[in-house]
Amino acid sequence: MSDKPKFDLGKIITESQIYKSMFRHGYSTSERDRALSVMTNVFFHLHPVKVRKSGARFGFTWCAGGLSFFVFLTLVVSGILLMFYYRPTVEHAYNDIMALREHVPFGIMRELHRWGAHAMIITVWLHMFRVFMTGSYKPPREFNWVIGVILLVLTMLLSFTGYLLPWDQLAMWAITVGSNMARATPFLGHEGPGAALLALGDIQLVHSGSDVRFALLGGRFVGAGALLRFYILHCVAIPTAVVILMSVHFWRIRKDGGISGPL
């Protein structure tokens, strides 16, 4: 019995040429091998090989930054799937969402995307809260905190621009209320303080057809122009900015000496 070689599926897989070509490293447990499995994998390689024990604890970081990143990835995936079904025009937008809900059995892609967006706001706030409570924004990490703040703003703008896309009453009026504030931007909004001063003789430079709200909405109210702009901001412009800033954020964590620890 014991001299018969055991059938070990795990071993067959991990020693196959296919597996080795993908992962380069077999799954063995020596220290060197574990280090190599980080260094030879582009995704794991976001991490250093070794980290401070205090900083690797769940109780220290709550994994909130890592979770924000993971939530973002799930949003990218579900978002791409939604894009297959959705056309950002006034005729189609609402009906496309309706069709998604009625024609896809067990479809939860829209839910995954919407609740994921809410969750990301919470995880990012939570991450910022953790970084604050451990004083991890202090030098040399001050600039990474600033990048974080920009990521925070972009996360909320992502959520905000996405809110319009279903093109229902909830969407349209939430965006109307939100964007109305832009009317009051000092100098740049047509109801903002100082805007009246920007005039050439009798010609007002800043009016409802030329202020920041108009630029944001592509029109005087939330209409077809706004839908297209928000769609592009939501699906292309802001995600691109987020990805770039996240890369900088992660790179800076390592350049600043890894997860912070006490002196």
Judged by CB under 8 A, the chain residues 8 through 27 that form the site for other proteins are: none
| Contact by Cβ (8 Å): 209, 220 | yes
- Nearest CA among 251, 62, 261 for reference residue 143: 251
Minimal distance, residue 45 CB to ligand HEM, in Å: 14
The number of CA neighbours under 13 Å toward the Cβ of 29 is 0
* Secondary structure of residue 88 in the 3-state scheme: coil
Instruction: Kindly report the backbone phi and psi dihedral angles of residue 203, in degrees, each rounded to the nearest multiple of 5, phi listed first.
Output: -90, 120
What is the identity of the amino acid at 179? Answer: S
Task: State which of residues 112, 151, 216, 217 lies at the interface with ligand HEM (CB under 6 A).
Answer: 151
Per CB under 8 A, the list member of 72, 163, 230, 231 interacting with other proteins is 163
Does 66 engage in binding with ligand HEM (CB under 6 A)?
yes
C-beta of residue 127 within 8 angstroms of C-beta of residue 65: yes
246 near other proteins, judged by CB under 8 A: no
Nearer Cβ to ligand HEM (158/164): 158
Residue 189 touches which member of other proteins, ligand HEM, none, C-beta under 5-8 Å by kind: other proteins
| Contact range with other proteins by CB under 8 A, out of 12-20, 46-54, 198-206, 240-248 | 46-54
Q: Applying CB under 6 A, which of residues 69, 85, 94, 221 lies at the interface with ligand HEM?
A: 69
Question: Which one of other proteins, ligand HEM, none is in contact with 108 (Cβ closer than 5 to 8 A by kind)?
Answer: other proteins
Name which of other proteins, ligand HEM, none residue 151 binds, using a CB cut-off of 5 to 8 Å depending on partner kind.
ligand HEM
Number of C-beta neighbours around residue 113 at 10 A: 19
Which one of residues 1, 42, 203, 263 is an interface residue with other proteins (CB under 8 A)?
A: 263
- Chain centroid to CA 204: how far? 39
